[in-house]
Structure 1
Amino acid sequence: MTQADTDRQEIRQLVENWALWRDAGDWTRFATLWHPRDGWMNATWFQGSAPDFIKASREGFESGVSILHFLGGHTADVSGDRAVAQTKMTINQRADIDGVEVDVVCTGRFYDFLARHKGRWTLVRRQPIYEKDRLDTVDPATRLTLDPRLLNRYPTGYRHLAYVQTKAGFTVKDGLPGLTGAAVEQLYSEGERWLTAA
């Protein structure tokens, strides 16, 4: 294998470990995936440093917040000791809305900025791209009426996820990248600059 092949394989393993270790609550190993100084996580419900994200995720996990991740296709562009990776994913969250148990599924991509640190790839910044989502009652016979004003506060790519998270008490960020639009175009530009600065 070429060095580029090895790099892409290691990056893919990092991305897979992120989902597995976070969802399993393996916080010690999860912490090893992030750049030790610059790790940063952006999400609907959280924007901040990797240590703070780990702390918030752990607290949520221990209090019963159920957020799971599934991964699909993956690609990585590598330039020296920097890389940008994109990975198809779904975010699955189970929650309670007004006494009704629901599942929300959001499909999108993880857009990752990575750097080689002391010989291994680390995650510098993760920005999900939210492409589409849906909400279902766990019991299909149960009726649920959503507040249209709250639902329509957020972009179509993650409005149901935002609805569930807002109802659960999270402060959800508006204007995050979707399938198209200014926010995702800016993200792509930032990715290009990250690679060319290597």
Structure 2
Amino acid sequence: MTEELIDRLAIRDLVENWAVWRDAADWERFRTVWAPEGRMMATWFQGTGDEFIAVSKRGFENGVNILHFLGGTSIDLAGNRAIAQTKMTINQRAEVDGVLCDVVCTGRFYDFIEKRDGKWLVVLRQPIYEKDRLDPVDPAAELKLDRELLERFPVGYRHLAYLQTKLGFNVKPDMPGLVGAEVTALYQDGADWLSGKPLAR
């Protein structure tokens, strides 16, 4: 195999390990996917990889139910740097106004990745939120959403944000979606990363 193919396989392995180890609460192995200064951006959390592990662990112990499923990956390589975009869904189950619900958000993980001492590591993970929906687990249950609260958030993740806000999370209101200024800026940051510039965000 060529070195490029080996790198591509290693990056795909990194992306898949992130999802499996995080959702399985395998915190020690999950820590190994992050660069020391690695950062996670999510609707409900923005901070370092270590901080993300700590809050995820507390959430897991308190019954927070968030799962990730992955699809195809597109990888742009430039020496020891890469941008990986991976199709994904985020699934969260929780009560909304006393009704047990599932929210499913579809999008992409947009990862800034760097090879250090022969190992690829996540420097920044920025999800792109493309569309979502919220459904009662019991299809016969009645749920009336607060339209004003729902429309406070971008269309790509407004139902996810609604559920998380109801749970008490402070949800970031300007995450990138399928189109718009936020995702355009993210793509530019990715191009700058591949060209060797410092990480802007």
Q: TM-score, normalising length from structure 2?
A: 0.97
Match of 1:18 in 2: 18
User: For the residues of structure 2 that align with 1:98 and 1:108, how far apart are their CA atoms?
Assistant: 26
Match of 1:117 in 2: 116
Deviations along 1:65-101, one digit per CA (max 9) or x if unpaired, are: 0000000010111111110000000000000011100
- Equivalent residue runs for 1:1-198 within 5 Å: 1-36=1-36, 38-197=37-196
User: For the residues of structure 2 that align with 1:3 and 1:156, how far apart are their CA atoms?
Assistant: 41
User: How far did 1:113 drift?
Assistant: 0.1
User: For the residues of structure 2 that align with 1:144 and 1:116, how far apart are their CA atoms?
Assistant: 47
User: How far did 1:63 drift?
Assistant: 0.4
User: For the residues of structure 1 that align with 2:8 and 2:57, how far apart are their CA atoms?
Assistant: 29
User: For the residues of structure 2 that align with 1:29 and 1:181, how far apart are their CA atoms?
Assistant: 35
User: How far did 1:118 drift?
Assistant: 1.4
User: For the residues of structure 2 that align with 1:135 and 1:122, how far apart are their CA atoms?
Assistant: 33
User: For the residues of structure 1 that align with 2:20 and 2:166, how far apart are their CA atoms?
Assistant: 26
User: For the residues of structure 2 that align with 1:4 and 1:165, how far apart are their CA atoms?
Assistant: 40
Secondary structure (helix, strand or coil) at the match of 2:23 reads: helix
User: How far did 1:123 drift?
Assistant: 0.3
Secondary structure (helix, strand or coil) at the match of 2:19 reads: helix
Deviations along 1:120-167, one digit per CA (max 9) or x if unpaired, are: 000000000000000000000000000001000000000000000000
User: How far did 1:26 drift?
Assistant: 0.2
User: How far did 1:62 drift?
Assistant: 0.6
User: For the residues of structure 2 that align with 1:46 and 1:86, how far apart are their CA atoms?
Assistant: 20
User: For the residues of structure 2 that align with 1:16 and 1:85, how far apart are their CA atoms?
Assistant: 12
User: For the residues of structure 2 that align with 1:118 and 1:166, how far apart are their CA atoms?
Assistant: 41
- Paired residue type of 1:157: G
Give me the identity figure in percent: 63
Secondary structure (helix, strand or coil) at the match of 2:141 reads: coil
- Paired residue type of 1:175: D
User: How far did 1:40 drift?
Assistant: 0.3
User: How far did 1:3 drift?
Assistant: 1.1
User: For the residues of structure 1 that align with 2:113 and 2:178, how far apart are their CA atoms?
Assistant: 22
- Paired residue type of 1:19: A
User: For the residues of structure 2 that align with 1:126 and 1:23, how far apart are their CA atoms?
Assistant: 16
User: How far did 1:24 drift?
Assistant: 0.4
Deviations along 1:37-86, one digit per CA (max 9) or x if unpaired, are: x2000000000011000000010011000000000010111111110000
Gaps of 5+ in 2: none
Secondary structure (helix, strand or coil) at the match of 2:34 reads: coil
User: How far did 1:117 drift?
Assistant: 1.4
Secondary structure (helix, strand or coil) at the match of 1:39 reads: strand
Q: TM-score, normalising length from structure 1?
A: 0.98
